[in-house]
A and B are shown apart, each in its own frame.
Chain A
């Protein structure tokens, strides 16, 4: 069994004529929390979609537990996805189901467990994210942070080997953010899972991630532990980590000079 549960080799992918990934290599070790960071539109979420087999690379490969994802048929991809849990940016809870039913959904779909066991398991999962008391609320009655925690309980419903988080901190208040940070680390260690977080929140991610990849211009611009990256001299990493307005990522979108646009 390889130490890396997910391996990405020479990955290339694009939408239409726009090449998003120009040869990306990444390794995600078992049991670790890894983060993929980069600016908006750099293709971070697309990497999660490639790992989940929702889209196919134009070149290179993504392998999960030794299986090359894009070579699988639908059944094969579904088998792989049963090893994965995914937290979407805004939770993606099923709006017609209660919190309880949302968490029970994967159990009902993929197991033949009796109702009393499902009930116990759902309550345990909700307890793990601190929302056992909200079991019978509807998603519309939850705050953004609560919805994210319910979605996390649903993502871990079947004790997956891999948990993927797409922008888990987006739009959260500081308390909810701290709760989610803590849950990601705690659940990863308690379940013995491997976590991949796609985010651009530096402070939160650096506080608990084991390893971080930075993507820029379609390639891995830098990688390392949070400690190594904090001291990085690379201009892009410095700009990103310290939130500088101008740098390798320019403030202005490509445009002719202001004078020519104003006819001066």
Chain B
């Protein structure tokens, strides 16, 4: 009987703490929008964060995109040639990248590189009382620290995803045309004819924008909510990667379903 009570007590505590965290996250999102006006008055803060989250992520994005594009080129060619349509390799690479892999892989890399950096930075600022010091100076940490990072993430993600897709296509081209010997004209013309701006490219951009919002919010909230200890910051950083990755994949399914059915 006691074991059963303990089980229900633990279950209740777990549910309560999750609901409380969800409430705190919602409150943080609300406050970000409330303080965004103040934050935009110091636009240099947002620009600085775009540099840290976006520009500093470029290397990992470009290198990964190139390899992903090359792998797509190889895999696509060996599958398509069985059906005698190896010229469609350009379309396959472009569509796979623009619709799916570009936004999803960029978001996963973003969560791993920029998301963890955001969580660790804010968590440490909290642990070293920098956020409290700011509060005591009558400066809102939401306006000064959180909102600029949020908008930077939202701006950087679609740009990074677009760069990922472009570099990925280039990787596919390098494998398909100079190495395998697919006709260059067929590679580009089929891509041009079959990739639709409104449906394919825009859907990829919308996805990356949504992933940008989700990843950045998760990273910011985990940092802001982290217990002010070394262990607390470390756990928060891990949670950022895990939660962001799951959120990206789940959101990808939901968004794809809407886009295909709509």
Contacts and interface: CB of A to CB of B under 8 A. Distances in A.
A136 interface: no
Nearest to B143: A109
Nearest to A106: B137
A198 to B, nearest CB: 14
Task: Choose among B132, B136, B139, B144 the residue with the greatest number of A CB atoms under 10 Å from its CB.
Answer: B136
B27 to A, nearest CB: 14
B9 interface: no
Contacts of A77: 138
Of the four ranges (under 10, 10 to 19, 20 to 34, 35 or more), the interface on chain B belongs to 10 to 19
A109 B136 CA distance: 13
B129 A92 contact: yes
B130 interface: yes
A84 B129 contact: no
Contacts of B133: 86, 88, 92, 94, 151
Interface residues of A, number: 21
Interface in B63-119: none
Contacts of A228: none
Nearest to B139: A109
B135 interface: yes
B26 interface: no
Interface string A37-79: 0000000000000001010000000000000000000000111
Interface string B127-161: 01110111111110000100000000000000000
B130 A82 contact: no
Contacts of A79: 138
B128 A52 contact: no
Contacts of B130: 92-95
Contacts of A90: 128-129
A84 B128 contact: no
B137 A105 contact: yes
A227 to B, nearest CB: 32
A52 B129 contact: no
18 contacts: A54-B136, A77-B138, A78-B138, A79-B138, A81-B136, A86-B136, A88-B132, A89-B129, A90-B129, A92-B128, A94-B130, A95-B124, A95-B130, A105-B137, A106-B139, A109-B137, A109-B139, A110-B137
Interface of A: 52, 54, 77-79, 81-82, 84, 86, 88-90, 92-95, 105-106, 109-110, 151
Given A54-B132, A82-B138, A92-B133, 6 more contacts: A77-B138, A94-B130, A95-B125, A95-B128, A106-B139, A109-B137
